[in-house]
Structure 1
Amino acid sequence: MVKPLVVVIPHQLGRAEARRRLETGLGSAQELLGKAGIRMAEATWQGDQLNFLVGAMNQNVDGQIDVDEDSVRVEVRMPMLLSLFAGKVRALIDTNGTKLLTKK
């Protein structure tokens, strides 16, 4: 098993606003993934944690997003084949997550 990819994104929004932005951004993320041929099979909230399952290249990728008062922690577990793209996935999560959680 490949070590999970973990990205922590700091924010100054507070837990409730960060979660609201993530909920709002989820629809955009699903649309973006769809254009890349990736499907969001599942996305469910349990408290302040979003558990997700994504299908790509006949492989499943799962993970969770934990919303805290001053940071969001994204953990992605992917099979060995897809772990080759971990650097690109990390950059994508970091860039888009930071944009979404930047105080406006």
Structure 2
Amino acid sequence: MTQPVEVDIPHKLGRAGVRTRIDGGIDKLAGMIPGGTMHDKRWEGDTLHFTVSAMGQSVQARCDLHDTHVHAVLDLPPMLALFAAKIREKLGRDGPALLK
């Protein structure tokens, strides 16, 4: 069973602007998970689906774009669920910098 980590990251870029920023910086998100690497990125409308591999585990994730925020969801497998609080804290603290 997965442990979802959900974070809302505020922005003032509008949907088109935030999409451009995410396209240019989403790979940095993998670095927020210990040993993480990004792959399998694909857009479906205003939602970016992607996978982060870390410590031999795969994390399914998505970013839903909204006018004033990005809603990020990472589904952590049981082994990585131990890091859920730290990942949530880091995303909340450092996530806005990914959009700059």
Partners in 1 of 2:87 and 2:3 — Cα distance? 14
Partners in 2 of 1:54 and 1:63 — Cα distance? 7
Q: Which runs of 4+ in 1 moved over 4 A?
A: none
1:42 aligns with 2:62: no
Partners in 2 of 1:100 and 1:38 — Cα distance? 16
Equivalent position of 2:65 in the other structure: 67
| TM-score normalised by length of structure 1 | 0.81
Q: Deviations over 1:1-21 (max 9, x none)?
A: 244110011222111111111
Describe the SS at the equivalent of 2:26.
helix
Gapped regions of structure 1 (runs ≥ 5): none
From 31, 53, 56, the equivalent of 1:55 is 53
Structure (1 or 2) with the larger CA radius of gyration: 1
Alignment root-mean-square deviation, CA: 1.9
- Which structure is higher in helix share? 1
Describe the SS at the equivalent of 1:12.
coil
Equivalent position of 1:26 in the other structure: 26
Note the C-alpha offset of 1:44.
1.0
Q: How many residues align?
A: 98
Equivalent position of 2:17 in the other structure: 17
Identity %: 38
Equivalent position of 1:95 in the other structure: 93
